[in-house]
Structure 1
């Protein structure tokens, strides 16, 4: 398996599916791939997907992540941003690496921890997926009980809230109630491509202050 894995080249924007991958093989593959890599993985009951993002995907991810961080800072909310950390649960035979994720309401519970175990630790409060490659695996996030999932696709932001074990599309965020983020986040993302990152973040921070 590892020899075959080393021979696999995944071009940006493409994905590779491996079937009948055991949990032990998954653990070995993750160790072999290492933490510092561009490729993302998703694992669902024996099927492993390895995907390499496009540059556009990474640009959108970084700007939206920066906007969320600015929002949390302006609202004076402690948070922990864990990027594309691998979240997995052996009992559920599932695992996922979000494009970005945030601990917000549960930040204190995992503060300072170097390793997370979803059998005892809570999942991230918010996960972000940039769907240029149509990669989102909502069923895995549902199984891992991630309370809120953002999907950005075709220049639109979709907010999904976990209710009774299933995601329901929502007009506003559970973590940021009362804010019109579905409209505002795409607007500031587009603005960043014209005005630049720093100018856009300054303007966004002013908007957040005006909402108080």
Structure 2
């Protein structure tokens, strides 16, 4: 029987590939190599297993996001946040797929993700964004548009089949992936700040 980390990793892969509804208890048990009652016996329900899966994946990801240095200016705070978000996301394609799928569905699972992980994480950078808007360094738009501009480009780091069709050549090393995350972060943040400059010319 696989150990707990493997049980949670395989669950993440299953939910990412099949969606919550498509990942039946029978299919989950098959992928885990366990008996049909394992999920209920260990976690109590498929919903509780899903929460354990995302807690392990997202909790681990967010703890790896290094904060900006104390005393950093607002632009540096935003730049560091985006850089770290892309850095940790680049190695988590299954988590990105799960988040994209759940974000499109109005469910209790999205409430769980938002209240436990998304909202507290975004709160780290919202004050800096608001001050940049107030100072004219960033265009005044609704906060949801800002975060869509930040979050959506993650697909360029994790959707390998599409990226290859868009011209990516060869297999990327870990160093290549981190360099791409850095380049994407610079592109996105420079774009957000340039939009503020353009609005005040």
Normalization by structure 1: what TM-score? 0.28
Which has the bigger relative contact order, CA under 8 A and spacing at least 6? Answer: 2
More strand, by proportion: 1
More helix, by proportion: 2
Normalization by structure 2: what TM-score? 0.29
